[in-house]
Amino acid sequence: MGAATLTQPSGPIGYGRRIRIRLEKPADARTPIGKSRCHEDYIPCITTVYDDTAKCNVDVGLELKRNMDNCLRLIVYRGNTIFDNVVVESECEHERTGRNSQREIGTSARDEEDTCNKCTANATRLCTRGLSSYLVSAYIVTLLDSHVYRNSALKALFRWLHDRKYVQIVFIRLRTPRRQFLDYKWNDKLMQMVLERQEADHAMSWLSTLGGAFSALGEEFEHCAEMAGKISTRQFELALRLGNPLLVARCKLYSALSLIQRGHFRAPQCTIKRIHKFALKEKDERLQNMCHGIWAKLQYCYKQYKQQKKLLSSGASRISSIV
């Protein structure tokens, strides 16, 4: 969607009015750019709007489709900050009835009408003090989630729009509620998630220390290498729970190292190559260095394995010749 910036106007302005903008395709706009949630191709144009509801001069960069008959744009703001910019699309056609009383914009806006697109304001008064942020949040979420409520709400709002050449924009001004409330259930859920993450990080650090010790002993004792593999499996489960793909890749390398120490080379070879490609894609130098180190360990152990196998075969041939 286009960007919107809010600035303070020069003259006195009121509150609580909904505006409509007539869009005209600029001369230099040849091809449609981008896509939005409710249409496939739309036209770039810049429109300056003087809005009574917002107490501000709005310079809105709009990129809209040619036909937005059943769409409504909601801009939620406070001061010079826009919190949400939503395009709501209805699933059915609505009858649009016009109103006879339509107020012109004002002297400052009339001066600008010669240089920018034509704008008209429909005198629909909302809350002059703004709307509660809790109410607006529930309203926007319900509009987006419930198609029944969305069609009913848009049917009521579209009664004020009598010309299909206009695009309907509603500016919703936020205000801080007098009474704040705490969502204790959500707070408990967040606390549980934080504690689980803290315990998982703590367990991961301990398992890393313990796994490193058993991996070092695994150079001499096979049962220590096997224990290091079990520890790396537990680390892998924690890494999946934490949702860190780089940590998951490191745990796979730990398991590959344990397999190398126990004399298995085919599976670690495939694992190291796959993780090295992932490290190059993520541009993680630490993971790349780990892959290089374990690959060197794989080459060394495989060379030692071939030499031992050759010595055993030569010793067996000598014994057979003596016999």
Sequence-distant (6+) residues with CB within 8 A of 28 are none
pLDDT, tens digit (0-9, with 9 covering 90-100), for 206-246 = 888 888 899 888 888 888 988 988 999 888 988 888 888 99
Q: Is 154 exposed, middle or buried (0-12, 13-18, 19+ CB in 10 A)?
A: buried
CA-closest candidate to residue 121, choices 153, 63, 160: 160
pLDDT, tens digit (0-9, with 9 covering 90-100), for 283-313 = 889 999 999 999 999 999 999 888 888 887 7
Is the Cβ–Cβ distance between 298 and 265 less than 8 Å?
A: yes
Q: Is 217 exposed, middle or buried (0-12, 13-18, 19+ CB in 10 A)?
A: middle
Q: Domain segments of the chain: what residues?
A: 68-90+119-181, 184-309
Distance (Å, rounded) from C-alpha 20 to C-alpha 123?
Answer: 11
pLDDT band of 75, cuts 50, 70, 90: confident
pLDDT band of 56, cuts 50, 70, 90: very low
Q: What mean pLDDT value characterizes the chain?
A: 71
State which fold the 184-309 domain adopts. 1.25.40
In DSSP terms, 60 is beta-bridged to: 4, 47
pLDDT, tens digit (0-9, with 9 covering 90-100), for 150-178 = 888 888 777 765 554 555 677 888 888 88
Q: Is 234 exposed, middle or buried (0-12, 13-18, 19+ CB in 10 A)?
A: middle
pLDDT at 45: 35
pLDDT at 147: 84
Distance (Å, rounded) from C-alpha 284 to C-alpha 291?
Answer: 11
pLDDT, tens digit (0-9, with 9 covering 90-100), for 92-144 = 554 444 443 333 334 343 444 444 445 555 545 556 678 888 888 888 888 88
| Higher local confidence (pLDDT), 278 or 55 | 278
pLDDT at 155: 80
Least confident of 55-64, 184-193, 244-253: 55-64
pLDDT at 168: 67
pLDDT band of 280, cuts 50, 70, 90: very high
Residue 247 has pLDDT above 80, yes or no: yes
CA-closest candidate to residue 82, choices 160, 169, 174, 200: 174
φ/ψ of 107, rounded to 5, equals: -65, -40
pLDDT at 165: 52
